[in-house]
Amino acid sequence: MEAGAATVVRSPFGMSRAFNSVGRSGAYVPDFVRLGTKLPPSIKHYTSIYQPSSGHRRVGFGNRRCLVVWASSSPDSAGSTAPIAPLQLESPIGQFLSQILISHPHLVPAAVEQQLEQLQTDRDAEKKKEEPSASGTDLVLSRRIAEVKANERRKALEEILYTLVVQKFMDANISLIPTIAPSSSDPPGQVDVWPSQDDKLEQLHSPEAYEMIQNHLALILGSRAADSTAVAQISKLRVGQVYAASVMYGYFLKRVDQRFQLEKTMKILPNALNEAESDTQPAAGGNKKASGEEFPSQGVASHPEVSSWSGGMSPGGFNQGIKASRLRNYVMSFDGETLQRYATIRSKEAVSIIEKHTEALFGRPEIVITPQGTVDSSKDELIRISFAGLKRLVLEAATFGSFLWDVESHVDSRYHFVMN
């Protein structure tokens, strides 16, 4: 089955369910941050192998190998620099689009349209093909071939979506953060050597959406959000989980902001949101829903990593950084069913992209589950990163999620794969 709303993922990066805690304090607090949830026990040990050689370079993930496309400073330059995105594409269509993205980025939309038409033709031909009337081996073989072809189409579709997301970053003149490789020094060096592009990332969101992203940052960084020069030693696994959660938050935020902006343009927003005082309400710690229920912040600072980033703030301290906004109040006006629907990533392909991109950026960690069901953190790698670097990671992740919503909707209008 190629389509379907996906809510369950195998990744260790905190995507074990649809993020159902959006309404707790007005911005999404991932479950692992709030309650320190356990990771699924089915995670396998998995290592990545990287073996550069002359000419084209290849990367292996487990027993897979893929062609890596590298960006050059000019068409005539013999050397090459870093790849334009952490995740390297493996399918023939993905590698073709990677080459187009490097050499002729303006042709990517036309190339994508052509590939989608071919995928549609292949899918239609597969549907028209009749299964063998005979039972037994021929029927099993026929179904297996159809399954393999469907998986190939799905992989190609994922890489088309990923290419379009990367192109949107290129169009905005923003470089994606490169793979955070394991440090060979002791103590480890600071990993965030990338330039700050916060201003460019801010311009890609509406003012209302960026307010929500600022609240999300306040929940994660706490009082250290403005301390850009401070450097912390943090679990790489936890940073990866925060990145994946922020991608999902950006996806959700773009989805609700699109509806908000439409209703705002049509002047059909709820009356309470059109009042001027809604922009100057007290901080979220004093906000209440229409029913009078307070937004609890229980457990936000209980996670050891969040506590270390925020300087040991109390749960109430987190809410003090949350500012009221029209978009936040708009989200709070949703009923439970609508909120759950908007907080669910619509396709398996989008979920897979988030998982693979995060693993390509941070590596696939070695997860060990103790007999008590907890995670053994003794082998967890620690990285040194500034709070400015953490902010850049979260901003990029939220923008990645926003772009993913855009390209998923665009591609689905031409090659239907999202289940309503």
Inform me whether the pLDDT recorded for 121 exceeds 90.
yes
- When pLDDT is averaged across residues 140-165 and rounded to a whole number, the result is 93
* pLDDT at position 15: 52
Pick the residue with more confidence: 195 or 161? 161
* pLDDT at position 16: 42
Asked if residues 32 and 300 have their Cβ atoms less than 8 Å apart, the reply is no
Residue whose pair of structure tokens reads 């050059």 in the numeric block: 72
Inform me whether the pLDDT recorded for 280 exceeds 60.
no
Residue 266, CB-side half-sphere exposure with 13 Å CA sphere: 9
* pLDDT at position 293: 34
For the chain, give me the number of helices (H) and strands (E)? 14, 7
pLDDT band (50, 70, 90) for residue 357: very high
Pick the residue with more confidence: 325 or 352? 352
Pairwise CA distance, residues 316 & 8, whole Å: 31
Strands (E), 14-56: 48-51
Inform me whether the pLDDT recorded for 360 exceeds 90.
yes
Q: Is the dihedral of CA 52, 57, 58, 59 positive or negative?
A: positive
Pairwise CA distance, residues 149 & 155, whole Å: 10
- Two tokens, residue 41: 């026990």
* pLDDT at position 317: 39
* pLDDT at position 408: 97
Inform me whether the pLDDT recorded for 132 exceeds 70.
no
Pick the residue with more confidence: 286 or 102? 102
Bond prior to 187 in cis (omega within 30° of 0): yes
pLDDT band (50, 70, 90) for residue 314: very low
Q: 382 pairs with which residues across the strands?
A: 235
CA dihedral 235, 241, 242, 247 (to 10 degrees): 150
* pLDDT at position 270: 80
SS3 68: strand
Cα distances (Å, whole numbers) of residue 162 to 13, 90, 187, 303: 18, 12, 35, 32
- Two tokens, residue 344: 């669910």
| pTM metric for this prediction | 0.74
> How does pLDDT run across 19-57, given as a tens digit for each residue?
444 443 334 434 433 323 333 333 333 333 233 333 333
* pLDDT at position 416: 95
pLDDT band (50, 70, 90) for residue 127: confident
Pairwise CA distance, residues 313 & 310, whole Å: 6
* pLDDT at position 376: 74
CA dihedral 203, 205, 207, 211 (to 10 degrees): -110
Q: What phi and psi, each to the nearest 5 degrees, are found at residue 101?
A: -60, -35
Q: What 8-state DSSP symbol labels residue 372?
A: T
* pLDDT at position 106: 94
Inform me whether the pLDDT recorded for 161 exceeds 90.
yes
Mean pLDDT of the chain, nearest integer: 74
Amino acid sitting at position 91: S
Pairwise CA distance, residues 404 & 398, whole Å: 10
Cα distances (Å, whole numbers) of residue 407 to 56, 139, 162: 29, 37, 9
* pLDDT at position 74: 40
Counting residues of the chain whose pLDDT is more than 70, the rounded percentage is: 65
Inform me whether the pLDDT recorded for 64 exceeds 50.
no
> How does pLDDT run across 179-219, given as a tens digit for each residue?
998 766 666 778 888 888 999 999 999 999 999 999 999 99
* pLDDT at position 379: 74
Residues in the chain: 420
Inform me whether the pLDDT recorded for 321 exceeds 60.
no
Inform me whether the pLDDT recorded for 241 exceeds 90.
yes
Q: What phi and psi, each to the nearest 5 degrees, are found at residue 48?
A: -105, 140
pLDDT band (50, 70, 90) for residue 397: very high
* pLDDT at position 186: 61
Where is average pLDDT lowest: 32-36, 285-289, 331-335, 396-400? 32-36
